[in-house]
A and B are shown apart, each in its own frame.
Chain A
Amino acid sequence: MSEVSIVVRLDVMLAMRKMKSRDLAHAVGITEQNISLLKSGKVKGIRFETLAGICAVLECQPGDLLEAVPDADPA
Chain B
Amino acid sequence: MSNLEHVRKLAGVLRGITIAAMVVLPLVIVGGLAALPLTPDVLSVDITPSLDATRTQLILAAGLSLLRPLILLWTLNEMRKLFGAYIAGDVLTDHAARLIQRIGQGFVAMAVVPFLLRPVQSVLLTMANPPGQRSLAVGLDSEMIFFALSGGLIIVIGWAMREASAAAAENRAIV
Question: Is A6 interfacial (CB 8 A cutoff)?
Answer: no
By beta carbon, the residue of chain A nearest B170 is: A44
Instruction: A44 to B174: give the CA distance in the assembly, Å.
Output: 5
Question: Is B175 interfacial (CB 8 A cutoff)?
Answer: yes
In this complex, the interface size class of chain B, counting residues with CB under 8 Å from chain A, is under 10
Residues of B within 8 A of A45 (CB): 173-175
Instruction: Specify which of B170, B174, B175 lies most central, judged by the most chain A CB atoms within 10 Å of its CB.
Output: B175
By beta carbon, the residue of chain B nearest A42 is: B173
Closest Cβ of chain A to B169, distance in Å, is 10
Interface residues of A in 36-55 (CB under 8 A from B): 37-38, 43-47, 50
Question: Is A61 interfacial (CB 8 A cutoff)?
Answer: no
Interface residues of B in 156-175 (CB under 8 A from A): 170, 173-175
Interface size on A (CB < 8 Å)? 10
Task: Give per-residue flags for B66-89: 1 if the beta carbon is below 8 A from chain A beta carbons, else 0.
Answer: 000000000000000000000000
Closest Cβ of chain A to B172, distance in Å, is 9
Residues of A within 8 A of B175 (CB): 30, 34, 37-38, 43, 45-47, 50
Instruction: A43 to B173: give the CA distance in the assembly, Å.
Output: 5
Instruction: A34 to B175: give the CA distance in the assembly, Å.
Output: 6
Interface residues of A in 6-48 (CB under 8 A from B): 30, 34, 37-38, 43-47
Residues of A within 8 A of B173 (CB): 43-45
Instruction: A47 to B174: give the CA distance in the assembly, Å.
Output: 7
Residues of B within 8 A of A34 (CB): 175
Q: Which residues of A contact B (CB under 8 A)?
A: 30, 34, 37-38, 43-47, 50
8 additional contacts, CB 8 Å, given A43-B173, A45-B175? A34-B175, A37-B175, A38-B175, A43-B175, A44-B170, A45-B173, A45-B174, A46-B174
Interchain residue pairs with CB less than 8 A apart (17): A30-B175, A34-B175, A37-B175, A38-B175, A43-B173, A43-B174, A43-B175, A44-B170, A44-B173, A44-B174, A45-B173, A45-B174, A45-B175, A46-B175, A47-B174, A47-B175, A50-B175
